[in-house]
Amino acid sequence: MVGFICLMWAFVCSGPRPAGAAQMPLGQAAVSTYIKIANDETLQDSNVFTCPDGKWLAGQYIKCFTSDSAYTAQCTGSNYCGDHTIWSATMNRCIGSTMQTFSKNDCDSYPTPSGTGYTTVGRLTDARDNKTYLIRKYADGHCWMAQDLAFGACFAETSAGLAQYKAGASVSTQDKIASGYYGVCMIATASNAYLYNWQAAVQNSNAYQGNNYQPSVPNQGICPTGWHVPSGGDSGETMALARAVNGGAALTDVNSSGYHQVDGALWQFWKSGGSWNGTFAGTAYRDGTQIGYQGTSSSYWTTTQTNSAAAYRIDAYIPLKIVYPSFVEPAKGNGCAVRCVRDY
């Protein structure tokens, strides 16, 4: 076994080359090319790492591990990684580092977990603004954001932009989040959740509250290219995910707000710290006066309307440990969070 000591970050490096990796000689690496582990979850779940500075130096091979030698990382030379910057030990190759370059095939290459479990893909960058998001694969076989989208300019409650939006419910072209984008990001919460109105989520000038508009499916909406806002309703993607998390079984509890489950598998999945990693950022009221249920409720838009004024959302509520995969949000003008799912 070949070994050497990584002085930077106090890592110990040793071990044979992984099967299938480029057979490159050991060499002295520059300080800037050492692996720095910034997220223990990524380290422990699937051995996915971002290569510093975008690529590794040619002719270099590194294998490092922390005090638990079961969790290792391998990165190889720039000729192997090219412009892709994430090495996946589970896939034994480099994958796209941005959400836009992460492909369907990349997602399909990760194992699909069962029930409330997940497989960590890693942190991918939204090339539009260079913000990074934790990506996980769930029991429905698809790759989802495990953090809330925070794209574009988000108006404070007292800003002129939000005041202008409040002036009328039937304004078809409202303040733009960014050039070429419709709708309003109403507020950025303490948990870094951006709460958007439905027009912003689905990105169409006709999607304002009070107008009858149903986007086609899948609908990219405010998500990066190659990703989309999930569909809702009993036959939508959020319900399909709920059934998969529930072990494949359909939900049986239903009331006027739709199918739901109390203190069961869905709660373990959607709660803060669960696989979905809920933020419980609440809902922003469309009049801009306050955020309701902040700290107790999580609300996420789907791309499916129920009528001209309302649309479906995912809703989770801490006090009752209840999850509605397709809850009816009574006002498209209210602000909810957005989670994107990779096209498939």
- Domain boundary (47, 70, 97) is at 97
Question: Pick from 82, 97, 112: which residue ends a domain?
Answer: 97
Range with lowest mean pLDDT among 69-83, 152-166, 215-229, 321-335: 69-83
Residue 163's SS3 state is: helix
Average pLDDT, integer, range 217-239 = 97
Residues 79 and 165 in one domain: no
User: Among residues 80, 97, 114, which one ends one of the domains?
Assistant: 97
Instruction: Tell me if 86 is assigned to some domain.
Output: yes
Q: Are residues 286 and 177 in the same domain?
A: yes
Q: Are residues 85 and 193 in the same domain?
A: no
Is residue 318 in a domain?
Answer: yes
**Residue 276 in this model has a pLDDT that exceeds 70:** yes
CA distance 161 to 296: 27
d(CA 338, CA 283): 12
8 A C-beta contact, residue 217 and residue 231:
yes
* 101 or 60, which is more confident: 101
Does residue 58 lie in a domain region?
A: yes
Is residue 144 in some structural domain?
Answer: no
73 and 204 belong to one structural domain: no
Kindly state whether residues 197 and 77 are assigned to the same domain.
no
Residues 165, 59 within the same domain: no
240 or 191, which is more confident? 240
Task: Using the structure block, give the residue that is written with the tokens 């029991």.
Answer: 139
The yes-or-no verdict on residue 31 having pLDDT over 50 is: no
Query: Same structural domain for residues 93 and 203?
Result: no
Tell me whether residue 120 is in a domain: no
User: Is the residue at 264 inside a domain?
Assistant: yes
Q: What is the mean pLDDT of the segment spanning 237-261? A: 95
Average pLDDT, the chain: 73
pLDDT per position as a tens digit, 143-189: 999 999 999 988 654 455 455 555 544 444 455 688 888 888 888 88
Letter for the amino acid at 79?
N
Model confidence at 61, pLDDT cuts 50, 70, 90, reads very low
Q: Are residues 306 and 191 in the same domain?
A: yes
Range from 92-101, 220-229, 331-340 carrying the lowest mean pLDDT = 92-101
Q: What percent of the chain has pLDDT over 90?
A: 46
Give the largest CA-CA distance in the chain: 71
pLDDT of residue 52: 43
At residue 344, the pLDDT reads 96
Residue 311 pLDDT > 50: yes
Q: Which residue has the higher pLDDT, 172 or 266?
A: 266
pLDDT at residue 221 in the model: 97
Count, in order, helices (H) and strands (E) of the chain. Answer: 7, 21
The answer, yes or no, to whether residue 304 has pLDDT greater than 70, is yes
110 within domain boundaries: no
Same domain, 78 and 194: no
Q: Which of 46-55, 282-291, 322-331 has the lowest mean pLDDT?
A: 46-55
Q: Which among 36-45, 158-167, 227-236, 329-338 has the top mean pLDDT?
A: 227-236
- Say yes or no to pLDDT of 209 above 50: yes
**Average pLDDT score over residue span 48-70:** 37
How far apart (Å, rounded) are the C-alpha atoms in residues 277 and 268?
10
Buried b or exposed e, range 271-304, using 16+ CB within 10 angstroms: beebbbbbbbbbbbbbebeebebbeebbbbbbbb
Q: Mean pLDDT, to the nearest integer, of 284-300?
A: 82
**Number of domain units in the chain:** 2
What's the half-sphere exposure (Cβ side, CA atoms, 13 Å) at 194? 20
Q: Is residue 213 part of a domain?
A: yes
d(CA 209, CA 284): 15
Q: Residue 265 is part of which domain span?
A: 160-342
Instruction: Please tell me whether residues 93 and 189 are part of one structural domain.
Output: no
Q: Specify the pLDDT at position 232.
A: 97
pLDDT tops 50 at residue 206: yes
- Residue 82 class from Cβ within 10 Å (0-12 exposed, 13-18 middle, 19+ buried)? exposed
pLDDT at 155: 65
308 and 183 both lie in a single domain: yes
90 and 213 assigned to the same domain = no
pLDDT tens digits, 68-126:
333 334 443 333 333 344 555 555 455 556 899 888 988 998 899 999 999 988 778 89
